[in-house]
């Protein structure tokens, strides 16, 4: 039997908030003391719990920080003011694209829970555009739009998950339909794709895999949240040339940098590290031992890898 109490929004623990917003627990506590926000409640055990409206505002604050704003400047604003500021900031950064009305159509299908219609529309676009154009011209901007809608509260978390699952079905089918490069083909790099343990978002990884397969690479996907030692062991056993990692804006940048540094040390030059995604760690403090690419750069990166290895073999 459904009760009114069961329909009340569930508060988030501090671990939930860290995972969902990418703001570290330590940072949340510092902001609480310094800026009087967030203002968590306490559960019966005295542990911090965060109402949904505070989590919503934290997502907006984190988004603006990723865009270059200082926390002390934006944390005092209301959620509506933060949303307006985010719209201005992202509009200035990305401009208004001609595809926006078409992207909005996909978003509306997601909001109205017409998932079968959404999958059909995505599949039709894939057939018309081809895999690479589908990824770079439609899926990438659409996923960014869905992320913005989720961060602003215009899209519920479960609706964002519905979008992710629908797109995954379409993308995975397209990847399986592509001819896979032979593992013995010397001109095809062996690329292992995964995310670090703290990164649970996998659409960026899936888009990267599609681009790599379309370029004739031999791809091995481990999915998301692979422990570091398992990444290293899998790279050794599979004899990979490249480990490709995806980092969403939601992952804590310090955890991203620390994970990359440890992975680099443990690999000891056994494989190249490639990375992509919207995380601030890749934009402002990219490590010298990691090659960072946008989706559109993958074709050129694989061509450059082939050229290096052809020259090395000839030499």
Query: CATH no. for residue 302?
Result: 3.40.50.280
pTM across the whole model = 0.79
Instruction: Using DSSP, state whether 222 is helix, strand or coil.
Output: strand
- Do 200 and 161 sit in the same domain of this protein? no
Q: What would the mean pLDDT of 51-76 be, rounded to a whole number?
A: 88
Compute the chain's Rg from CA coordinates: 21
- Do 170 and 205 sit in the same domain of this protein? no
* Residues 14/25, Cβ–Cβ less than 8 Å: yes
Q: In the structure, what pLDDT confidence band is assigned to residue 314 with cuts at 50, 70 and 90?
A: low
- Do 70 and 117 sit in the same domain of this protein? no
- Do 307 and 262 sit in the same domain of this protein? yes
Strand partners, 191: 219, 242
Render pLDDT for 14-50 as a digit per residue (tens, 0 to 9).
998 988 888 889 999 999 999 999 999 999 999 999 9
- Do 151 and 262 sit in the same domain of this protein? no
Q: What would the mean pLDDT of 259-276 be, rounded to a whole number?
A: 95
Is residue 1 in a domain? no
Chosen domain end from 73, 94, 115: 94
Lowest mean pLDDT among 92-101, 135-144, 240-249, 271-280: 92-101
Q: What would the mean pLDDT of 99-120 be, rounded to a whole number?
A: 90
Is residue 161 in a domain? yes
pLDDT of residue 98: 37
Is residue 2 in a domain? no
- Do 155 and 269 sit in the same domain of this protein? no
Burial of 247 (0-12, 13-18, 19+ CB in 10 A): buried
- Do 86 and 106 sit in the same domain of this protein? no
Phi and psi, residue 309, nearest 5°:
-80, -30
Query: CATH no. for residue 43?
Result: 1.10.1660.10
Q: What would the mean pLDDT of 87-105 be, rounded to a whole number?
A: 64
Is residue 65 in a domain? yes
The kind and range of the H/E element at 158 are: helix 157-177
Is residue 83 in a domain? yes
Lowest mean pLDDT among 185-194, 226-235, 264-273: 185-194
Q: What percent of the chain has pLDDT over 90?
A: 61
Q: What would the mean pLDDT of 70-85 be, rounded to a whole number?
A: 89
Lowest mean pLDDT among 18-22, 107-111, 117-121, 231-235: 18-22
Could you give the CA distance from residue 289 to residue 196 in angstroms, rounded to a whole number? 16
Phi and psi, residue 197, nearest 5°:
-55, -30
Render pLDDT for 206-260 as a digit per residue (tens, 0 to 9).
999 999 999 999 999 999 999 999 999 999 999 999 999 999 887 888 889 999 9
Is residue 228 in a domain? yes
**Strand intervals (E) in the chain:** 12-13, 41-42, 48-50, 190-194, 218-223, 242-246, 272-276, 291-292
Chosen domain end from 67, 94, 121: 94
* Residue 159 structural domain: 100-177
What is the domain count for the chain?
3
Instruction: Using DSSP, state whether 201 is helix, strand or coil.
Output: coil
Is residue 185 in a domain? no
- Do 310 and 207 sit in the same domain of this protein? yes
Q: In the structure, what pLDDT confidence band is assigned to residue 182 with cuts at 50, 70 and 90?
A: low
Q: What would the mean pLDDT of 187-194 be, rounded to a whole number?
A: 93
> Average pLDDT over the chain, rounded to whole?
87
Does residue 3 have a pLDDT over 90?
no
pLDDT of residue 94: 47
pLDDT of residue 1: 41
Lowest mean pLDDT among 153-157, 181-185, 265-269: 181-185
Does residue 2 have a pLDDT over 60?
no
pLDDT of residue 99: 44
Chosen domain end from 127, 149, 177: 177
pLDDT of residue 6: 45
Is residue 4 in a domain? no
């Amino acid at each position: 039997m459904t009760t009114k109490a069961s329909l009340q929004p569930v508060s988030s623990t501090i671990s939930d908030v860290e995972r969902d917003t990418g703001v570290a627990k330590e940072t949340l506590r510092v902001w609480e003391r310094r800026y009087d926000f967030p203002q968590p409640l306490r559960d019966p055990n005295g542990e911090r719990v965060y109402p949904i409206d505070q989590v919503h505002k934290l997502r907006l604050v984190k988004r603006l920080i990723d865009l270059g704003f200082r926390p002390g400047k934006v944390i005092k604003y209301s959620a509506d003011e933060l949303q307006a500021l985010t719209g201005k900031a992202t509009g200035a950064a990305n401009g208004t694209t001609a595809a926006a009305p078409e992207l909005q159509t996909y978003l509306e299908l997601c909001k109205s829970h017409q998932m079968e219609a959404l999958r059909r529309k995505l599949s039709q676009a894939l057939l018309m555009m081809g895999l690479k154009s589908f990824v770079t011209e439609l899926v990438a901007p659409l996923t960014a739009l869905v992320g913005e809608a989720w961060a602003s509260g215009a899209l519920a978390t479960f609706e964002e998950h519905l979008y992710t699952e629908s797109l995954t079905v379409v993308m995975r089918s397209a990847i399986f339909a592509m001819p896979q490069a032979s593992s013995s083909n010397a001109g095809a790099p062996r690329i292992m794709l995964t995310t670090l343990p703290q990164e649970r978002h996998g659409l960026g990884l899936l888009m990267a895999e599609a681009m790599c397969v379309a370029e004739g690479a031999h791809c091995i996907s481990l999915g998301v949240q692979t422990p570091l030692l398992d990444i290293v062991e899998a790279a050794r056993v599979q004899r990979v040339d490249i480990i490709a990692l995806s980092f969403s804006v939601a992952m804590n940048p310090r955890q991203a940098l620390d994970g990359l540094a440890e992975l680099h040390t443990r690999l000891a030059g056994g494989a190249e590290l490639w990375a992509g995604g919207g995380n601030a760690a890749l934009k402002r403090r990219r490590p010298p031992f990691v090659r960072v690419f946008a989706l559109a750069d993958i074709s050129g990166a694989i061509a450059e890898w082939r050229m290096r290895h052809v020259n090395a073999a000839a030499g």
